[in-house]
Amino acid sequence: MLVLLILHLLAALVAPLLVRWWGPRACYPLALAPAAAFGWALARTPAVDDGGAVVETYPWIGQLGLELALRLTTLSWLMTLLVGGVGALVLVYSAHYFRRESRGVARFAAVLVAFAGAMLGLVLADDLLLIYVCWELTTIFSYLLIGHSTERRSSRWAAAQALTVTTFGGLAMLVGFLMLGGHAGSYRWSAITAAELPGGAYLVTAVVLILVGALSKSALLPFNSWLPVAMAAPTPVSAYLHAAAMVKAGVYLIGLLAPVLATVGPWRPVVVVTGLATMLLGGWAALRQTDLKLLLAYGTVSQLGLLVVVVGAGTPDAALAGAAMLLAHALFKAALFLVVGIIDHGAGTRDLRELSGLGRRAPLLAAVALLAAASMAGLPPLVGFVAKEAVLAAFTDQPVVLAVLVAGTALTVAYSARFCWGAFATRAGVEPTTVGRIAAPMLVPPALLAGVGLVAGPAAGILDGLFRPYAELFGEVGKDLALWHGLTPALGLSALAVAGGAAVHALRGPLTPVLARLRSPVSGNQGYEWVTRRFDRLAIEVTGATQRGSLPQYLGTILLALVVVSGGAMLAARPWRHRIALWDTPLQVVVVAVIAVAAVLAVGARRRLTAMLLVGMTGYGSAMLFVLYGAPDLALTQFLVETATIAVFVLVLRRLPERFSARPLRRSRWVRRAIGVSVGAVTAGLALAAAGARRDPTISDAFPQLAVSEGYGRNVVNVTLVDIRAWDTMGELAVLVVAATGVASLVFERSRTGPRPQRPEPPTRAQRPGRPVWLRGGATLHERHRSIVLEVVTRLIFHTVIVVSLFLLFSGHNAPGGGFAGGLVASLGLAVRYLAGGRYELAEAAPIGAGTVLGAGLAVSVGTGVVALLAGGSVLQSARIDLSLPVLGEFYLVTSLFFDIGVYLVVVGLVLDILRSLGTEVDRHIEAAGRSGGGLVVDKRGSP
């Protein structure tokens, strides 16, 4: 069975290709997929006709206990035959329905085959969750098929409505499935039937939810409105989805579950009431239609109502009748849809007021249609008659239901007559319709379907034997399927219905105003529209109320939540209980005082530079606190970062206005400060609470010992970064690379990988021979921007700085330092080169792309981890290599040094990228703006 599903999938995948080669004719080879399913099911007939089952299971998602469980029983065998057989015929039909130049045929063919596969999966699945997955797949494919004419608004609307309604039902059904499966401990339907059912309201809820899904899929009240609207689809789609396959999914599900669930409280009332009401309303509405396709659509709604009543009734006789009806309906309704398609295709209209004389001009077509319609009306000796007899016979003990069924059947007879009359009668005053030559492959499928209906009637005995195993799931079967039962009440009622239907059709003239007036006051469409409008309104109200578009407002809300929630928890912990020291050293007090003053002043500062320097002061103060706390690595990094931050800030601030813009909102300022103070108080309280909250010894107690034994280093912080928690560092490196890329892409208008700036003029040495050149890029700067002192100092210290950075890198394993600190020092060296000599000097100092450095750093770090893995260790595990060199003597190397080198490179690359972007590139912007007389205009050509 899985092979069949895969076959459909493959066919769907190659369909676009085939259509490109062969046009709509590609549907012929594609029809092989559903035909294979048909043939396979036919070959399995002996296996299921004695009540047996064909079972296949494949492991799928082991953790969820989910497997691909497929099971072929009588009901699914019947559905497989219908899905495969009608599917193949519809594809053959489609090969001629579409013209070569029609748009979207490739998508149509692919989706139709995929739909056939999903439908096949649905009827073969034994697992409720698998049923759900296939169910939703059919919903999605039907969305694509209904919306075939993407350029037509009505088509898109119809597709969206079908999708919305059936997905809603599908979700309800899923919940029902989960409830059932959760209780039984298995989602295999065959296992659930064996398990004990849950009791009471739990089961009732589950059943109602599942019924909502089934009824919405089969377009029963109150979900019926989507089906007539879905007639916007091409006719082959209507024939397949809305007659034979998809709408039958709900009926199938009801039929599958009925043997077990029909006895549950609400099942029968829901199924019978909605089914009968749908049958009557659909039949009545069908009499009103002038569009033949819509007539059939409402007829389908009516028949689905009948099917749901019969299949859901839960008695053996009804089940037998239901199976026969399922078959009969698929045969005649698909045939009739295909006939309408031929008329529409040939005559260009399917409005019965514009058709005339078609019966005489296309006798073969008329014969096929009459045969199918007679089956629909339930005339002997067709299969429709057999099914209808069985239905009426099954309900003889329920007079009310029976009466409604007879009335509904009469309506069916009436609209069947209306269909034939509408399509083929000759109308006075209407120009005779011409349909041209009908291609044989278009006529054969409906003829075949109608013919099977003719053959199956007399062969009712065989059908009886085939369907009996399904009916026996409900108990002892009393009646049988046959063309002739003798003079039974059912026969009399049948005759009554035919007579009534004929009378209604004969009285169609006088009935017209009644038909137009007598209708449900609220159409399903209005209901759907009302609901969707309400949802839209609700969404807009909620969004409008919560999403005001103001960043400070959002942040304020989040922070207030922090104050309330965390603040409450903090107060509950009563942090003031903890007695902690005022200070470790009086120096702490001094530093904190400086930090506090700087922070508060920064809030009120009006100039950007002032605010930035004050904030920088808090950074340096933090570094001091780190020193006092016993964290020299942190202090070193914080000092370096703070310096680099100030340098980067200055690069940008030279472009921004000197002062912050004046803020008129004085009132909100106090709100902001109030929020700030409360968040600060809560955070401080949390710090206090956390101080006293420790109960267990910290895991880092073991770190010093681990650092020496596993990481071969004495600086615990560095070993933590490059070994114990190296994965964190790896993640951080990735973040830094992303940040660098982000900076560059915000500033560069084009790729940053272009040529680096080159000095425009020859080296200055040639200009002034004899004088030493301190920085070669310096000469490119404007005289007013040059500082010879800075150039000299830079020249003198740059190499020292680089050596120091390397020293920090290499010694970091055993003493404060490491890749971060080393990289930052080197970066500051580069920054100084840039500040002293301008962008050409930077290019001299680092004649390599920032992206290259970043990439190399990341590659080295990752490579270290990979090498450790290849060497048989775990990722990023350290190893110690003892070396002996002639001059240096004995020393050892730890492999995590290479990881640290990667860190170093990434940090250098980050700063280089920032200098290139916010330095070099912004320089160019400034120069371009200067050339064009100020403003924001920038030279787009990008030449430096």
Q: Rule CB under 8 A: say whether 140 interacts with another protein.
A: no
Kindly identify the residues of this chain, within the stretch 541-580, that bind another protein according to CB under 8 A: 541, 543-545, 547-552, 555-556, 559, 580
Q: Rule CB under 8 A: say whether 655 interacts with another protein.
A: yes
CB 156 within 8 A of CB 150: yes
- Please identify which residue in the block is written with the tokens 């205009």: 937
Question: Minimum CB separation from another protein for residue 137, in Å?
Answer: 22
Q: Tell me whether residue 73 or residue 278 sits nearer to another protein (CB atom).
A: 278
Q: Tell me whether residue 31 or residue 648 sits nearer to another protein (CB atom).
A: 648
Q: Tell me whether residue 194 or residue 691 sits nearer to another protein (CB atom).
A: 691
Give dist(CA 754, CA 421) in Å, integer: 77
Q: Rule CB under 8 A: say whether 648 interacts with another protein.
A: yes
- Please identify which residue in the block is written with the tokens 């007090």: 589
Q: What are phi and psi of 71, to 5 degrees?
A: -150, 125
- Helix boundaries (H) for 425-550: 440-456, 460-471, 489-506, 508-517, 524-546
Kindly identify the residues of this chain, within the stretch 210-249, that bind another protein according to CB under 8 A: 228-229, 231-232
- Please identify which residue in the block is written with the tokens 């114990």: 724
Hey, is 469 helix, strand or coil? helix
Which stretch in 94-102, 122-130, 389-397, 732-740 sits in contact with another protein by CB under 8 A?
732-740
Q: Tell me whether residue 396 or residue 588 sits nearer to another protein (CB atom).
A: 588
Binder among 455, 499, 656, 871 for another protein (CB under 8 A): 656
Which stretch in 86-94, 472-480, 491-499, 601-609 sits in contact with another protein by CB under 8 A?
601-609
Which amino acid is residue 249, in one-letter code? A
Question: Minimum CB separation from another protein for residue 821, in Å?
Answer: 9
CA distances from 376 to 161, 352, 444, 577 (A): 28, 19, 19, 86
Give dist(CA 672, CA 649) in Å, integer: 25
Q: Rule CB under 8 A: say whether 897 interacts with another protein.
A: no
Question: Minimum CB separation from another protein for residue 731, in Å?
Answer: 9
CA 416 to the chain's CA centroid: 43
Q: Rule CB under 8 A: say whether 697 interacts with another protein.
A: no
Kindly identify the residues of this chain, within the stretch 311-350, that bind another protein according to CB under 8 A: none
Q: Tell me whether residue 13 or residue 681 sits nearer to another protein (CB atom).
A: 681
Q: Rule CB under 8 A: say whether 676 interacts with another protein.
A: yes
Q: Rule CB under 8 A: say whether 658 interacts with another protein.
A: no
Question: Minimum CB separation from another protein for residue 915, in Å?
Answer: 10
Question: Minimum CB separation from another protein for residue 747, in Å?
Answer: 6
Give dist(CA 528, CA 162) in Å, integer: 10
Q: Rule CB under 8 A: say whether 154 interacts with another protein.
A: yes
Q: Tell me whether residue 627 or residue 773 sits nearer to another protein (CB atom).
A: 627
Kindly identify the residues of this chain, within the stretch 358-397, that bind another protein according to CB under 8 A: none
Q: Rule CB under 8 A: say whether 854 interacts with another protein.
A: no
Altogether, the residues listed in the chain come to a count of 944
Binder among 599, 792, 802, 893 for another protein (CB under 8 A): 599
Short-list 151, 141, 160, 142, CA closest to 103: 151
Here the tokens at position 148 are 């075939």
Question: Minimum CB separation from another protein for residue 381, in Å?
Answer: 35
Kindly identify the residues of this chain, within the stretch 603-642, that bind another protein according to CB under 8 A: 603, 608, 611-612, 615, 618-619, 622, 625-634, 637-638, 641
Q: Rule CB under 8 A: say whether 736 interacts with another protein.
A: yes
Q: Tell me whether residue 788 or residue 926 sits nearer to another protein (CB atom).
A: 926
CB 613 within 8 A of CB 643: no
Q: Tell me whether residue 462 or residue 937 sits nearer to another protein (CB atom).
A: 937
Instruction: Give bridge partners of residue 188 from the DSSP assignment.
Output: 127
Q: What are phi and psi of 694, to 5 degrees?
A: -70, 130
Question: Minimum CB separation from another protein for residue 709, in Å?
Answer: 10
Q: Tell me whether residue 126 or residue 291 sits nearer to another protein (CB atom).
A: 291
Q: Tell me whether residue 93 or residue 703 sits nearer to another protein (CB atom).
A: 703
Q: Tell me whether residue 17 or residue 542 sits nearer to another protein (CB atom).
A: 542
Element (H, E) at 789: helix 788-811
Here the tokens at position 266 are 């609400």
Exposed/middle/buried for 171, CB within 10 Å: 0-12, 13-18, 19+?
Answer: middle
Which stretch in 50-58, 306-314, 434-442, 701-709 sits in contact with another protein by CB under 8 A?
701-709
Q: Tell me whether residue 165 or residue 471 sits nearer to another protein (CB atom).
A: 165
Rg of the chain, C-alpha, whole Å: 41
Q: Tell me whether residue 130 or residue 625 sits nearer to another protein (CB atom).
A: 625
CA 736 to the chain's CA centroid: 30
Q: Tell me whether residue 152 or residue 765 sits nearer to another protein (CB atom).
A: 152
Q: Rule CB under 8 A: say whether 830 interacts with another protein.
A: no
Binder among 679, 773, 790, 792 for another protein (CB under 8 A): 679
Q: What are phi and psi of 885, to 5 degrees?
A: -115, 150
Hey, is 670 helix, strand or coil? helix
Q: What are phi and psi of 943, to 5 degrees?
A: -80, 135
Q: Cis peptide leading into 259, omega within 30 of 0? A: no
Q: Rule CB under 8 A: say whether 596 interacts with another protein.
A: yes
Question: Minimum CB separation from another protein for residue 156, in Å?
Answer: 5
Kindly identify the residues of this chain, within the stretch 36-95, that bind another protein according to CB under 8 A: none
Instruction: Give bridge partners of residue 54 from the DSSP assignment.
Output: 72
Q: Give the count of beta carbons closer than 10 Å to the beta carbon of residue 614.
A: 18
Question: Minimum CB separation from another protein for residue 439, in Å?
Answer: 24
Question: Minimum CB separation from another protein for residue 667, in Å?
Answer: 13
> What DSSP string runs through 255-309?
HHHHHHHTTSTTHHHHHHHHHHHHHHHHHHHHTT--BHHHHHHHHHHHHHHHHHH
Q: Rule CB under 8 A: say whether 925 interacts with another protein.
A: yes
Tell me the number of residues near another protein by CB under 8 A: 144
Q: Tell me whether residue 245 or residue 736 sits nearer to another protein (CB atom).
A: 736
Q: Rule CB under 8 A: say whether 735 interacts with another protein.
A: yes
Q: Rule CB under 8 A: say whether 892 interacts with another protein.
A: no
- Please identify which residue in the block is written with the tokens 């026996």: 472
What contacts 24+ positions apart, CB below 8 Å, involve 626-634? 628/584, 628/585, 628/587, 628/588, 628/591, 629/584, 631/717, 632/816, 633/715, 633/717, 633/718, 633/816, 633/817, 633/818, 633/821, 634/717
Residues 872-891 as x/- pattern, contact with another protein by CB under 8 A: --------------------
Short-list 135, 131, 243, 138, CA closest to 187: 131
Which stretch in 252-260, 451-459, 465-473, 525-533 sits in contact with another protein by CB under 8 A?
525-533
Question: Minimum CB separation from another protein for residue 255, in Å?
Answer: 30
Short-list 890, 736, 884, 903, CA closest to 813: 903
Question: Minimum CB separation from another protein for residue 430, in Å?
Answer: 18
Give dist(CA 471, CA 294) in Å, integer: 33
Which stretch in 176-184, 195-203, 286-294, 491-499 sits in contact with another protein by CB under 8 A?
286-294
Q: Tell me whether residue 401 or residue 612 sits nearer to another protein (CB atom).
A: 612
CB 205 within 8 A of CB 177: no
Kindly identify the residues of this chain, within the stretch 746-805, that bind another protein according to CB under 8 A: 746-747
Hey, is 188 helix, strand or coil? strand
Kindly identify the residues of this chain, within the stretch 404-463, that bind another protein according to CB under 8 A: none
Q: Tell me whether residue 440 or residue 587 sits nearer to another protein (CB atom).
A: 587
CA distances from 912 to 642, 801, 832 (A): 16, 16, 12
Q: Tell me whether residue 604 or residue 763 sits nearer to another protein (CB atom).
A: 604
